[in-house]
C-alpha cells in the first residue's frame, strides 16, 4: 500500500510541475519570434544580385579548378562539391527572380 501512495504522490508532483510549466508556455503567445528580424535581414542581404554574382564567380573558379586538377584527388572532389552547391544556389536565386517563389514554395 505504501508503494501505491508513493506512486500517487509522485504522479501528483509530476502533474503539478507540468501545470506550472504550461502556464509559462501559454503566456508566450507573441507571433513574432526573437530571431525572425535577424533571419530576414540575413536573407535579404544574401539573396539578390550579390548572390548571383558570387555564384557566377564560384562556378567559373570551380570549373577552372576542375579542369586543372586530377579527377581522383581530394581537391577535385571538393571542387565538385563547391560547383554543385553554387549551381543549386544559383538555381534557387534564378527561380526566385523568375517566378517570385521562395525556398519553401519550391520544395512543396
Residue 38 lies in a domain: no
Q: Does any domain span residue 106?
A: no
Q: What is the mean pLDDT of residues 45-63?
A: 74
Looking at residue 80, its pLDDT comes to: 78
Quick one: cell of 68? 586543372
pTM assigned to the model? 0.39
Q: pLDDT digit string (tens) for 66-78?
A: 777 766 677 777 7
Q: How far is CA 44 from CA 1, 39, 41, in A?
A: 65, 9, 5
Is residue 31 in a domain?
no
CB-based contacts of 96, cutoff 8 Å, min separation 6: 47, 102
pLDDT tens digits, 80-97:
787 787 777 777 767 767
**Domain range for 79:** 2-26+47-101
Instruction: Kindly tell me the burial class for residue 86, based on how many C-beta atoms sit within 10 Å of its own C-beta (0-12, 13-18, 19 or more).
Output: buried
Amino acid at each position: 500500500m505504501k508503494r501505491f501512495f508513493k506512486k500517487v504522490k509522485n504522479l501528483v508532483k509530476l502533474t503539478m510541475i507540468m501545470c506550472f510549466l504550461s502556464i509559462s508556455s501559454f503566456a508566450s503567445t507573441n507571433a513574432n519570434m526573437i530571431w525572425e528580424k535577424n533571419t530576414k535581414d540575413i536573407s535579404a542581404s544574401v539573396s539578390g544580385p550579390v548572390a548571383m554574382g558570387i555564384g557566377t564567380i564560384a562556378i567559373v573558379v570551380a570549373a577552372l579548378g576542375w579542369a586543372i586538377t586530377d579527377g581522383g584527388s581530394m581537391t577535385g572532389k571538393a571542387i565538385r562539391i563547391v560547383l554543385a552547391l553554387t549551381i543549386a544556389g544559383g538555381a534557387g536565386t534564378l527561380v526566385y527572380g523568375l517566378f517570385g517563389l521562395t525556398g519553401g514554395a519550391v520544395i512543396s
